[in-house]
Structure 1
Amino acid sequence: MASLYLRPWLSVTKCMKTVSRQVVRSISTSQHEPVPLETVEDWTRFQETRAGYKMLVEHFEQYGSTQNKGNTFQPYHSLHKPLAPTQTTLSALIASGAHFGHSKTLMNPNFVPYAYGVRAGITIIDLDHTLPLLRRAANLVRAIASKDGSIVFVGTRPDLRNVVRRAAERIGSQAYHVGERWLPGTLTNKVQFFGSQEVTEQRMTPDLMIFLNPISNMNAIAECAIEHVPTIGVIDSNVDPRIVMYPIPANDESVRTAELIAGVLSVAGREGAALGAAERKVQADKEAKDIYGRQRTRERGNRVDIG
């Protein structure tokens, strides 16, 4: 049955070899007006043609490429389908441009341990340091999320607003994002900002803050230091790595680098949130069993007393 439908296609393919290239081009690009299916014969012919084309594709599929849109890299994957911390590689960091620093004349002296060298006057960041530090930061985010801690992503450039928003949404209700200007005093003057009642009833100080552009948010970093809030920051070659607790040396002006780092950290946070929810569920079940066991023991004791 398959050969019955494949034979006309194969014969057409064989005849096409003798046609000139210009004719083939006109044939392949010609557009035919759709013919309405008015009768049962038209519908049957349409179904046979489609089935024959499908068999032809399935027959020659084994000789073609196995790459498709789903198993190859796409530019939007770093934002919508980020890598897990264990899947992040040096190749992914290089592809995102994380190794490009600033001019060597702008390099901060404290950044020297994270510099690989200079190329064409540009500082090259040593990604052999970046990858383990990124995984260390991911472990921190996972641990805080598993303990029901709150995490804040800060990226105040216009091109980073969508990045921090998607990262916070990926973790869930434990994460927040700041895409506009950081208001000075948000952490140190909570009572003036939110009111004494809100500060008393709710937890206003986050457990971790992640900065994608730390130079523009030095006020927020200073407030985190005053309030003893751990900080993670993407540190470029012109930045002092000591301004944050957990530096990640990388290009802080590349949107793709920001998408990669924020995506890896948000995936780790999502894993931690899932682990924490599972642990709390097990603990709640255990407490419920203990309460039920104590009630049964008390009921047995009451029966014995009555007897």
Structure 2
Amino acid sequence: MATPTFEQLLEAGCHFGHLKRKWNPAMAPYIFMERNGIHIIDLYKTAAKIDEAAAALKQIAKSGRKVLFVATKKQAKEAIANKAASVGMPYVIERWPGGMLTNFPTIRKAVKKMTTIDKMAKDGTFDNLSKREKLQITRQRAKLEKNLGSIADLSRLPSALFVVDVMKEHIAVAEANRLGIPVFGVVDTNSNPENVDYIIPANDDASKSIEIILDAVCGAMAEGLEERKVEKLDTPEDKEDGDAPAKRRRVRRNEGAAKETAEAAPAAEAESAE
């Protein structure tokens, strides 16, 4: 699990915060200094927080649970889509649908509707519809795909949320807080870190800054998934090895019982002879 160095974070521009007049006082512990009216983030603390978040996300991935990545701002969309897909995690890069977490069953119904439309296209139901009806259903399918296509495989609530710009995605953060879902967030100097469980203080407006953080956390998750595969492969053998002592004990008991039977047989014959 490779944590970005101070120099790499500096080169990516992770240290640039917002204007001093826009700051959130709760971010004071993560601010190194002010220069030309702009706050500079302490990159040593950023590196430490990335390491902490990556370790936690690795364990979540290793246990087979899902992390939902959320970023609807232009600079982060492509990076989130690519990195989340590389580790098989769901993501939201369009508008956050209100109630996505707190009203999850309704969201699942919308996803099932998308599946139903696909089934209609395959089984020939579309052939019996008018041209106008086909067009309406096709448009509905496209809209569902755009908003919910990336979470089609999310059959239950995610175990964690990874958010870029917690200020912009405050609805997603609020829903996760309400349900007790841990929030990992890239937090800039103008944001409130109090509702975030794992804070990564960094520039959330620069694409390079977002990418270097995603590389680190998704790399850690990929390691967790690999370790999970290895453990699954080792489990059958371990189980057999674990059963071996029990088998040996059963064999010894059977042998002991057979021996006792053999010893008792002559005595029984002698008694019957008398």
Pick one of 216, 219, 238 that aligns with 1:264.
Answer: 216
* 1:280 shift after superposition: 2.6
Pick one of 120, 123, 127 that aligns with 2:39.
Answer: 123
The separation in 1 between residues aligned to 2:250 and 2:95, in whole angstroms, is 60
**Equivalences for residues 6-85 of structure 1 within 5 A:** 85=1
The separation in 2 between residues aligned to 1:129 and 1:283, in whole angstroms, is 39
The separation in 2 between residues aligned to 1:191 and 1:112, in whole angstroms, is 40
The separation in 1 between residues aligned to 2:204 and 2:98, in whole angstroms, is 22
Partner of 1:218: 170
Task: Give the ranges of 4+ consecutive aligned residues of structure 1 lying more than 3 Å apart after TM superposition.
Answer: 288-307
CA contact (8 A) 2:62 2:225 kept: yes
Matched, 1:164 2:80: yes
Partner of 2:138: none
Higher RCO (C-alpha under 8 Å, 6+ residues apart):
2
* 1:112 shift after superposition: 0.9
**Which residue identity is paired with 1:178?**
V
Percent identity over paired residues: 30
The separation in 2 between residues aligned to 1:129 and 1:250, in whole angstroms, is 10
Deviations 1:99-131 (A, max 9, x none): 111100011111111111111111111112111
The separation in 2 between residues aligned to 1:135 and 1:155, in whole angstroms, is 21
Partner of 1:283: 235
Partner of 2:104: 190
Pick one of 179, 192, 201 that aligns with 1:249.
Answer: 201
CA contact (8 A) 2:80 2:214 kept: yes
CA contact (8 A) 2:3 2:51 kept: no
Q: What is the RMSD of the two structures over their aligned residues, measured on CA atoms?
A: 2.5
Total equivalences in the alignment? 217
Partner of 1:103: 19
Pick one of 178, 192, 203 that aligns with 1:240.
Answer: 192
Instruction: Name the larger-Rg structure.
Output: 1
Deviations 1:27-83 (A, max 9, x none): xxxxxxxxxxxxxxxxxxxxxxxxxxxxxxxxxxxxxxxxxxxxxxxxxxxxxxxxx
The separation in 1 between residues aligned to 2:257 and 2:192, in whole angstroms, is 74
* 1:213 shift after superposition: 2.1
CA contact (8 A) 2:187 2:200 kept: yes
* TM-score between the two structures when normalised by the length of structure 1: 0.64
Gaps of 5+ in 2: 113-153, 260-274
* TM-score between the two structures when normalised by the length of structure 2: 0.71
